[in-house]
Amino acid sequence: MIDGTGISEHDGDATPGDQMSTNHHEHSTDSGLLSGVAHALASVHQEPPGSFVLHAPLELMARAELLPQVSPLAREQARRRIVDIATAWSATDTPTRSSQGEVLDDPLDALSAALAEGDIDAADHAYRALCRQRSTAELIADLAGSVLPHLGGAGHGSIFFELLPRFAPPGVNPALMARTLVADLARHPDWRLTWIDQPRPRRHRTDSLTGRLLAPTSDEEPESTFIHPTMSLIDGSGLAAEVLGDVTLGLSVTQARGELLRVAAQSMLQDDPAHAPYGWTHCLTLPHAALAIAESSGDPQRAIDIAATYVLGFRATQSAGAIDPNWQPPPPTHLNADTALEAGPDTAAAYAWHATSSERSCLAQAIVDYAATHHDAHLAKYTAAAFHAARLDPAAAHLFGAASAYLAAWWHQHDNNNPT
């Protein structure tokens, strides 16, 4: 059933096979394809989700954002990658069907209580009820403040709600794709950043946020490079409060974006290439998302602090050394957009940096086609985020273009060196 807003009231309990036939996807429109996969992903996995399950809704929305920009020759493979998301989802543990539960007078209060108490079933019931009552904008305003500091779901709640307003396939409520994310938030009620609620140091700031992030170091190593152990270490050790406590105060979202995302992009270009596919991708996508929903959260300062924590966390634990904010690559020679991604990450980045307007447009097309047809979800997410960052910060468009070219070329090189 479709309500007056054009959003399906269905709670997403059908299995992927009920809504998405991988054998007939070539006969569907783009909107029909996206609707079918979104409906499949609106089921909830009660077991602790793996990386694919957490990323699947984000991957779908990122690939949907890239799809209209894909060249005709790459469209079929780009669409096949979207179908693959539903296929892989159906191969994971069987999603749990929802019980109807009691009617909730205030689903937002019920959801907040369920998340605080770690009640997964109650959280799912309340979230579904909230999705039926709220528009996308209202839902983001309701939940941004709670999602931002939470490290459950690998801290990806902000990315979900950053992408959601630009994803509106017909006949389905795409907000329901966050059900597994919400379940993981309830599974880990204590996984959150805490330094942002502590008193700030009283000292006169003499340097910039950028300056604090060029070469930070952590005295300890996290248990793994995953997001929760990394950010919990930075938070619990006091490093975030020490490095960021005074320097983020008073910054606008635009100012913070101009510093944080440029540092993140320079990290991709200058720092340890071993962390390019996951560490340096998250170093940009997580703060980008946090800042995108900052105003909706009702407390932009808090969102800025959280965004800065992500950049600090990755740089303090995964960096091989200081980066130079004024760095630029030397101009490449004898290269064109058709071969740039095959020339290696450094050369591809240099071409993107120094390209003319027409050359940059051709390279952007090559990057979009590669990201949209490649198997890696983080590449699709990063490409969409970097292109969005370039639109928001046009003075640094060459930087974000170079970073996205670097990552695409990194994967091209990796796949050539590791054929399957």
| 243-284: pLDDT as tens digits | 999 999 999 999 999 999 999 999 999 999 999 999 999 999
Strand partners, 44: 96
pLDDT bin (cut points 50, 70, 90) of residue 8 is: very low
Using left for φ > 0, alpha for ψ between -120 and 50, and beta otherwise, residue 335 falls in beta
Rg, Å, the chain Cα set: 21
| 167-177: pLDDT as tens digits | 999 999 999 99
Indicate if the pLDDT at residue 21 is higher than 60.
no
Confidence at residue 102, expressed as pLDDT on a 0 to 100 scale = 74
Confidence at residue 78, expressed as pLDDT on a 0 to 100 scale = 98
Confidence at residue 97, expressed as pLDDT on a 0 to 100 scale = 52
Predicted TM-score (pTM) of the model is 0.92
Residue with tokens 């200081």: 322
Confidence at residue 104, expressed as pLDDT on a 0 to 100 scale = 85
In percent, the amount of the chain with pLDDT more than 90 equals 82
Confidence at residue 88, expressed as pLDDT on a 0 to 100 scale = 94
Structure tokens at 129: 């009820």
Indicate if the pLDDT at residue 18 is higher than 50.
no
Mean pLDDT on 298-321: 97
| 343-367: pLDDT as tens digits | 999 999 999 999 999 999 999 999 9
Confidence at residue 4, expressed as pLDDT on a 0 to 100 scale = 27
Q: Is the CB of residue 293 less than 8 Å from the CB of residue 148?
A: yes
Indicate if the pLDDT at residue 7 is higher than 50.
no
Handedness of CA 87, 93, 97, 98 (dihedral sign): negative
Strand partners, 211: none
Q: How far apart are the C-alpha atoms of 316 and 403, rounded to whole Å?
A: 20
| 141-184: pLDDT as tens digits | 999 999 999 999 999 999 999 999 999 999 999 999 999 999 99
Structure tokens at 79: 């669409």
| Alpha helices (H) in 103-208, listed in sequence order | 107-117, 120-133, 136-147, 157-163, 179-187
| 73-100: pLDDT as tens digits | 999 999 999 999 999 998 886 556 555 5
Q: How far apart are the C-alpha atoms of 315 and 309, rounded to whole Å?
A: 10
